[in-house]
Structure 1
Amino acid sequence: MDVWAAEDFATFGGAHLAVLGVFVVGAFVLVAVGRAQRGTSEVPPFSKVLAVLVPAVTVPLQVYQQLPGQWNLEKSLPLQLCDLAWISAAIALWTLRPWAIGLTYFWGLTLTTQAVATPDLGSTFPEPSFLMYWAMHLLIVWSAMYLTFGLGLGPTWRDYRICVLVTLAWAVAMLAFNALVGSNYGFLNGKPDDPSLLDLLGPWPVYLGFEIAIILGVWALMTWPWVVRQRGSEVAVT
């Protein structure tokens, strides 16, 4: 049976399961590569290669969305949080700046992974929109895992606060933009058509409040082990 036979993408259908398989293998490989590079004071060459790969893959595919035959005001603009996440991932990989690593870690391992698990996607392989969607999302999550679980560069409470403030600023801006043009970037003005975790959080705008509370709590829990680990390392040194 041809797993690509369906005209439209189906969550947990053949195309989705194949992508998830690639995702798992890639995650294991990148974490292993990162762990082998721990302890160096310089940015690993592999990290810089990955930093170049992220925009090299993502930018051309995003340009494709701006072409006349593909343009859609409600979907084509690079205003999703994942559009910010791939930029932060490229910066983090090239510079190892803590704030960029923090943004990539929090966004990549929570919001982007939701897009991987429950994608809102109407196309399937090998359509360009399918390739763009998965190239962007997989590279973001892989970058986050390589930087943190691989290289061991975790966030601090300062990075947590930065990510919260940046995310809230983006959300406010997108709520206003969506209301102005009738779009739904970030699913802030309505739930996606396909099933998602938002379906468990009530109607709009109730789910926004629950989403904010959950994200704040989960990100705090994601920060705490790294802070404890960093303090333990400092005590061991002294």
Structure 2
Amino acid sequence: MPLTVDGRFAPYGPSHWAALGLFAIGCAGLVLLGRAQRAGAEPGSEFGGQARGFSRAYALAIVYVMIGTQAHTLLPGQWRLGGSLPLQLCDVAWVASVGALWTLGRRWFALTYYWGLTLSVQGLLTPALNGADYPGIDYLGFFGMHLMIVWSAVYLTWGLGMRPDRGGYGFAVAVTVAWAVATFVFNLSAGTNYGYLNAKPGTGSVLDLMGPWPWYVLVEALVILLGWALITWPWTRASRRGRTSPPPEATRQRL
């Protein structure tokens, strides 16, 4: 049964809080699992067999869920030019999550880290969801996609110990700019609004604090650049400190 009286999703209603609670529980569980897998890895191996096996199973689970929800949007009764095409950034982010989980590669991880921990988290906190509430397919598809993206970033970062760096930051910025330009041009030609690059969403969002179009797009870009730099800095700082700190044996010898 839907959790709202009229069957429509309500931000910060019971079904939204349920999704956020599931998000927190999933984050904690995946961090603990990833750390256990890391501790059980063979000496000299960055990722053990358990981590690779689980991450690939997780990647296949994302593909399974997303193929089902994407296929639903393409059905004759559901098709909309302005909403059925996989052109939202989260539609690209889940593919990046699959790539990161399957390969444990640095560039796929960079996209998952930056997109997942900022833009997909924003989707969880301020969902632009106009469809039916739980257990409607729109609700399940929206939160299923966003949860799996963010969980992937959390698992890879705080579970398996993968870290972003300056190269990954630059790569993520370049790919995001390429997506934004291509999507903006498509929106202009097709009269759509993927990525909310051409107009704000009808529901309330953080974009309402950034002024009218096109200024909110520029403000959003600056916020993203600064935010991504801030979530890169602790890891690069720790890496520099690790490289410059003398080993314990050398310190004892000097003393």
Residue 172 of structure 2, aligned match among 141, 154, 163: 163
Whole-angstrom CA distance in 2 between matches of 1:183 and 1:164: 24
Counterpart of 2:106 in structure 1 is 98
SS of equivalent to 1:9: coil
Is 2:151 the partner of 1:142? Answer: yes
Offset at residue 2 of structure 1 (A)? 7.0
* Alignment root-mean-square deviation, CA: 1.6
Whole-angstrom CA distance in 2 between matches of 1:36 and 1:132: 30
Deviations 1:133-165 (A, max 9, x none): 111110000000000011110111000000000
Whole-angstrom CA distance in 2 between matches of 1:206 and 1:222: 24
> What TM-score do you get using the length of structure 2 for normalisation?
0.89
SS of equivalent to 1:67: coil
Offset at residue 4 of structure 1 (A)? 4.2
Gap change, CA 1:5 and 1:93, over 3 Å in 2: same
Counterpart of 1:14 in structure 2 is 14
What pairs up with 1:215-234 in 2 under 5 angstroms? 215-234=224-243
Whole-angstrom CA distance in 2 between matches of 1:230 and 1:97: 19
Gap change, CA 1:49 and 1:235, over 3 Å in 2: farther
Whole-angstrom CA distance in 2 between matches of 1:121 and 1:95: 32
Offset at residue 129 of structure 1 (A)? 1.6
Whole-angstrom CA distance in 2 between matches of 1:222 and 1:210: 18
**Structure 1 runs not aligned, ≥5 long:** none
> What TM-score do you get using the length of structure 1 for normalisation?
0.95
Offset at residue 235 of structure 1 (A)? 3.9
Counterpart of 1:187 in structure 2 is 196
Residue 137 of structure 2, aligned match among 117, 128, 138: 128
Larger Rg belongs to: 2
What pairs up with 1:194-205 in 2 under 5 angstroms? 194-205=203-214
Tell me the amino acid that sits aligned with residue 227 of structure 2.
V
Q: How many residues align?
A: 238
Counterpart of 1:212 in structure 2 is 221
**Structure 2 runs not aligned, ≥5 long:** 248-255
Is 2:71 the partner of 1:66? Answer: no
Is 2:80 the partner of 1:80? Answer: no
| 4+ residue segments displaced more than 6 Å | none
Whole-angstrom CA distance in 1 between matches of 2:72 and 2:2: 27
Q: Which moved more, 1:53-62 or 1:214-223?
A: 53-62
Identity between Structure 1 and Structure 2 (%):
47
Counterpart of 1:35 in structure 2 is 35
SS of equivalent to 1:217: helix
SS of equivalent to 2:38: coil
SS of equivalent to 1:37: helix
Counterpart of 1:23 in structure 2 is 23
